[in-house]
Structure 1
């Protein structure tokens, strides 16, 4: 059938107003134009839709059925089209992101707060996950983009480094190294180390920093989050090397010192290679980049 949206909307207008002229006024058309649309629709369907008199227009049985069915279908269609239009609005929509724990606790709140202030119609959904889970979620299209430590397999993704986050040495105030202004990596050779486990993107970089300098390490505890490492250090179970962004969770009685030479991890926005972001996701991506500049 060759039925147009103009014909269907003209039919609903006439059925609703029970009058051709009032329907024409509502549609901003002339009465002959509306009459022609109805006549063409009836011819296409091969059924009479209205009983006409000089005083009123009344839908036939077929017309009443079509009016009820079309009202529901066109409402759903309008909803679908409105949703499609919203997806193209860079300032409105839902954005799904995944972030590693040290960023979820530091950079992500700042980015979400800035989105809420500058773009209140953006809804940010966060997954707080390990490095491997963040990359898997991006790879599988479960999230629009991720915030991670520089991925070891960067060729799989399109990435943008937004911040260089230095590592810091953390110990108790009564530790022999606590009074120094900075600590050399080689000074940690005989320390009991409490480090993030290998699910963390930072652990690979910490291990590389020790190995590249030929420094033997004694890892006594591996934990999943810097907050846990700080509690272990507080209990006298060792010292830790942690990203500077995690220091907000550091407890009283602990000291954070620069490491010499300074080693950084690159905080990276990650998305699927050769896949464009939706306009709302691009707005969120840009907002998180700007938030990182504030931290820097």
Structure 2
């Protein structure tokens, strides 16, 4: 059975005078990892809680396939979610925690050991959760989400507390989920944490949608940059100014923003400027992200 999409339509949440989420609409397609991005306080967790029926919306709705999450016969078998890495009984072992949830989603105790192994936590099965590090709790939350092998995965800041090796592992796991055809939604407040693993991005700020597209489209909006080393950096800077390219200096060279290496090299050759190094820098999509999420009053 194919994984269902997630659809959010006009979702709004008002807490007294605060509008945490404001007329938010987007969709999450199967077979892809969608990064749900925005600064802290943007409304990401509130949105995820509404999708999962944990918070009632003031207006709008969200659908998992053709119906709201809570209207599925066994929602936990359709959507596996991990929102907080602290909602565990500290006196229970990791295995005991999973065994409490197993009957709710209709899986065996053997499955509990399987998912602990899947997330690399079999060594801590009999350790009380109160002794777990934040990274270990993140993995246990993921194991809980995977108990029923659901077609839809929703994770809130899943790399928080993971070491570099754990972050690489998480990226690989998310990619495998997408390759299996699952619908995957992953929130983060930092684009660089997820850009290596996501296919699509949904960017929000102050509870409102700021951008939704494939990651490649967001990348295309970023300006190219080229690093240059030359015995005549002043001449390169002057040439860049003539072409309308911005420049920034560092200890050994010059970064030319808004131009590709081919453009800079061709212009320098035409002007007779000797170059010792010419390197294309990755497009700075983080700059685009920060511009998208800047408070509206500063835009």
The TM-score bracket by the shorter chain reads under 0.3
Structure having the higher helix fraction is 1
> Could you state the TM-score of these two structures normalised by the residue count of structure 1?
0.27
TM-score, structure 2 normalization: 0.27
